[in-house]
Amino acid sequence: MKKILVPTDFSDQAENALKVAANMVANNGGEIYLHHSAEIPLHLANSGETRSLPEAIYFIRLAEKKFSELLKKPYLQDIRIHETIGHGEIYDDVKVATYRNDIDLVVMGSHGSSGFKEMFIGSNTEKVVRTSDIPVLVIKNVHEDFIIKDFVFATDFSEECRKPFMEAQKFAKAVDAHMHLLLINTPSGFKTTAEARELMENFVRGTAAENYSLNIYNDTTVEKGILNFAKDIQAQLVGMSTHGRKGLSHFFNGSISEDMVNHANMPVITFKI
């Protein structure tokens, strides 16, 4: 993970993510792309002359001032940082920035959301998770040292999840973590131990996976099962694949990975199917 993109709105949650990114690149000589999507009013952003308008320039100058203050933080010293300012929706800006700079990982802060806010608005982080083509690591809390020893990767072990699993394997190797491959057994999709084992063993066969274990956990829902298993083994990170549903498909079907991003009180990393 040599190139990490950190979207920021200069909030405490965003700085939590930046500290984690700094910790990660400090150990491998990587670099950080610090991105802010300026809150420019819609009529200015769509004018086609954003940078020439005094009102728009005010928002840009404000962001530059906050960048300058942030980069003075001691934990960012001796780290190569690139600053960028976007003018569109954050998820569009992030997607453009990841392609333009060949980013390996997005690290983003979140305080989560719930209830009507989650259903009708959703968090910016959730939108990035839904639309990003590269892994997104979501940070909820302060981490003085971001050390991952036990990494839970939950999946249904279907063929479409094989690619995200391989990406998760690369991430686990990069951070020197043991991967706990996890199948949640629920009443609505119950499998016997023999059936589950056969499914899991067929899934990893031929993948050259290393440093992993196969785990089956019984619970009432997939989300509860993942959180309870992670708590039981005191894992530091949970990973999942995501379909990146949009529009009505997302509204009616939802996504377990996005629910985890909103509800888990621990770091969550997602990998696009």
Q: Cα dihedral sign for 131, 67, 118, 264?
A: positive
Checking if the pLDDT of 240 tops 50, the result is yes
pLDDT per residue as tens digits for the range 24-70:
998 788 999 999 987 655 555 555 554 455 666 777 888 889 999 99
**Which of the given ranges, 50-54, 75-79, 210-214, has the highest pLDDT on average?**
210-214
What's the whole-model pTM score?
0.88
- Of the listed ranges 58-72, 146-160, 166-180, 183-197, the one predicted with least confidence: 58-72
> In 3-state terms, what secondary structure has residue 266?
coil
* Full set of structural domains in the chain with CATH: 3-139 (3.40.50.620), 150-272 (3.40.50.620)
131 residue type, one letter: T
Contact status, residue 214 vs residue 248, Cβ threshold 8 Å: no
Q: Residue 28 has what pLDDT?
A: 83
Supply the DSSP string of the chain, one letter for each residue: --EEEEE--SSHHHHHHHHHHHHHHHTTT-EEEEEEE----HHHHTSS-GGGSHHHHHHHHHHHHHHHHHTTSGGGTT-EEEEEEE-S-HHHHHHHHHHHTT-SEEEEE-----HHIIIII--HHHHHHHH-SS-EEEE-S--SS---SEEEEE----GGGHHHHHHHHHHHHHTT-EEEEEEEE-GGG---HHHHHHHHHHHHTTS---SEEEEEEE-SSHHHHHHHHHHHTT-SEEEEEE----HHHHHHH--HHHHHHHH-SS-EEEEE-
Q: Residue 254 has what pLDDT?
A: 47
Q: Which helix (H) or strand (E) holds 225?
A: helix 222-232
Give 88's pLDDT tier (boundaries 50, 70, 90). confident
The mean pLDDT value for 121-129 works out to 74
Checking if the pLDDT of 115 tops 80, the result is no
- Of the listed ranges 44-53, 78-87, 89-98, the one predicted with least confidence: 44-53
- Of the listed ranges 45-54, 103-112, 167-176, 235-244, the one predicted with least confidence: 45-54
Checking if the pLDDT of 251 tops 90, the result is no
Checking if the pLDDT of 253 tops 60, the result is no
Q: Residue 57 has what pLDDT?
A: 75
Question: Mean pLDDT in the chain?
Answer: 85
Q: Residue 92 and residue 58: Cα distance in Å, rounded? A: 22
Give 104's pLDDT tier (boundaries 50, 70, 90). very high
Q: Residue 1 has what pLDDT?
A: 77
CB atoms within 10 A of CB 71: 13
Q: Residue 119 has what pLDDT?
A: 35
Give 75's pLDDT tier (boundaries 50, 70, 90). very high
The mean pLDDT value for 107-131 works out to 67
**Is residue 78 left, alpha or beta, with left meaning phi > 0 and alpha meaning psi from -120 to 50?**
left
Q: Residue 54 has what pLDDT?
A: 66
Q: Residue 96 and residue 123: Cα distance in Å, rounded? A: 19
The mean pLDDT value for 248-265 works out to 63
Q: Residue 84 and residue 86: Cα distance in Å, rounded? A: 7
45 φ/ψ angles, rounded to the nearest 5 degrees: -65, -30
> In 3-state terms, what secondary structure has residue 220?
coil
Q: Residue 273 and residue 269: Cα distance in Å, rounded? A: 13
Checking if the pLDDT of 120 tops 80, the result is no
**Which DSSP state fits 270?**
E
Q: Which of 185, 183, 186, 176 is nearest to 236 (CA)?
A: 176
